[in-house]
Amino acid sequence: MQYRFASCAQAIIFSLLLAQFFFVDAFAQVNLKLLGQLDPFPGTNRYGDVWGEGNYAYLGSFSGLGVTIIDISNPAAPQMAGYYNPPSGGRFQDVIVIDSIGYFSSENNGGVHIVDVRDPANPTLLSQLTTDRNGYPFVHEIFVADGILYEADSRTNRVRAFNVRNPRDPLFVREIVTTDPRFIHAIVVINGRLYSSGWGGKTDIYDVRNILTEEPRLLGAVDSGNNSHSSWVSSDGRLLASARETLDGDVRLFDISDPANPRLLSSITSQSLGITAYTAHNPYIVGNLLFISWYQAGLVVVDITDPTQPRLAGSYDTFAGEVSGFAGCWGVYPFLGLDRVLLGDMDGGLFIIDATTAIVGPKTVSAASYKVSAIASKTIVAAFGTNLSSAIQAADSALLPTSLAGTIVQVQDSIGSLRLAPLYYVSPTQINFQIPAGTAPGPATLYVTAGQARPQIGAMIIAPTAPSLFTLDQSGNGAAAAIDAFTSSGAPFNATRNDGQPNIIAIYGSGLGEDATDIDGNVNASVQVRIDGQPVTVHYAGRAPLFVGLNQLNVEFPAGISSGNHNLVVTRNGVSSNVVTFEVR
């Protein structure tokens, strides 16, 4: 059963979009906000790298405690949901989880464990990459991309690749002999290119798009410096960040637009940032921000809008001890959202950080919930800043333009595709636009160009689904933008229909995903709605008529619902919306 009501909802949402919301300060605060922390096994030097997927964080072990699985659905109160640890003890320093399949690299003669973690309380070993399958016995770092797992043992200059598209039966593909004179410490593969960080000072760049059928082609080698530990690359493939793990180790930024002729742009040192720590560790690029786990300095976020002049944008110190050797923040995972960045501290365990104050340039949030992390393809969003437009102008038809008052917005996604964004509204301090169709999940870069001015650059994370709900007070909290599905009247709602059956309301939001936005179809089977914590029937979830980017959900009240205020939350693919309220007579 489907119900669609356009006129009332359209008037509500249009008024919300054109409202002048509070201005969001575009300047960073150095100290980021701690949301929550969990030390599952109190002690010292126990934890390794960290990864996130959905509502779970995965924390590796430096000393044999396996991989801890942590429920972070409430970032303020993370809870242990389970752990994976084989009888021999799991020294899993590197962890990756993709579609609930975990890949854990073992430094105690276990190769790589491939584990089903769909049930966090009961992880199941599916297969193991050991010497029997041509894998390394000791694996320090791994990476998984396009169904291919790459492993480095930190003992040789060779990278081994495996086809893991069937995780129960991984197959050896080939070995890549790099140019590094010592050994490969880490690898990363982004958009068909592999970057190998060599301890002897070489970071090789290979084309691995056809690795199943062809030898990878060496595109170039970067002289990244001794003890090159790990690296990351911007989504457009132009900027390489390479971290060196050594006393006073730095992060070096290279222009690799031409991989055969890389150019050093700058070196980020503890001295240049005004921090105190032994060395940098792992770098990640999100738009114009560089996230670095920097041992005793914790998380360091660097503004790389101009990569020749990087500057400190924010930091959070997880370590209270003295600066000496390898201790403190080991890993960082910023890809769940900039408002819940995961940190793995060797002593302190998991830290969850709100890093939104480090955002420089326009700050993009869901126009419904105002969450930085509630952004999916086709979501209606708002960007706040200064000098975003020379005038105020709104779109005058449902066919949204890509230019208003001389301002255009572009979004470059994680695979490097650059698209113009449809615009609802522009003003000097706020722009409302839609994330372009086809925008791939992952880190994204925002470009706002007003007339002839230079583009302003911002950062955001795109998720496959990120439901968010509109509220009447334009805050993302409080009373939902909702109507009675039969009478089109607003709250308070009747508990039942005229025939005595439970009533149905239509609630409005954005971010359900590409398959539920601006196209006909009903995705209610994959959507869950809870009222006061209890699941209820969803008759329809999908496109709302006549308004681009708007989602509608028709939700049935539970039988016997009481009068008064009730909470409601929408979840799809493990991602939950903001909590809104509604009133029943």
All structural domains of the chain: 7-16+466-584 (2.60.40.10), 18-23+361-462 (2.60.40.10), 33-358 (2.130.10.10)
The C-alpha torsion from 466 through 96 and 74 to 356, rounded to 10°, is -70
Is 221:196 a contact under the CB 8 Å cutoff?
no
Is 358:313 a contact under the CB 8 Å cutoff?
yes
pLDDT tens sequence across 492-527:
999 999 999 999 999 999 999 999 999 999 999 999
Quote the pLDDT of residue 13.
58
Closest CA to 253 of 224, 219, 214, 287: 224
Quote the pLDDT of residue 27.
35
Burial class (CB in 10 A: 0-12, 13-18, 19+), 496: middle
Quote the pLDDT of residue 22.
38
Task: Compute CA distances 70 → 39, 55, 113, 121, 299, whole Å.
Answer: 10, 8, 19, 10, 20
Determine the Cα–Cα distance for residues 302 and 299; give it in Å rounded to an integer.
10
Quote the pLDDT of residue 43.
80
H or E element: which one contains 160? Answer: strand 158-163
Task: Compute CA distances 288 → 164, 350, 396, 460, 486, whole Å.
Answer: 32, 25, 33, 9, 48
Is 512:572 a contact under the CB 8 Å cutoff?
yes
Quote the pLDDT of residue 574.
86
Return the percentage of the chain with pLDDT > 90, whole number: 86
Between strands 341-345 and 329-333, the pairing is antiparallel
Structure tokens at 250: 């730095």
Between strands 564-572 and 551-556, the pairing is unpaired
Burial class (CB in 10 A: 0-12, 13-18, 19+), 272: middle
Q: Give every residue of the chain whose pLDDT is below 50, as ranges.
A: 1-6, 20-29
pTM for the model stands at 0.94
Task: Compute CA distances 407 → 9, 183, 254, 413, 456, whole Å.
Answer: 28, 49, 31, 20, 11
Structure tokens at 301: 């976020």
Longest CA span, the chain: 80
pLDDT tens sequence across 103-123:
999 998 899 999 999 999 999
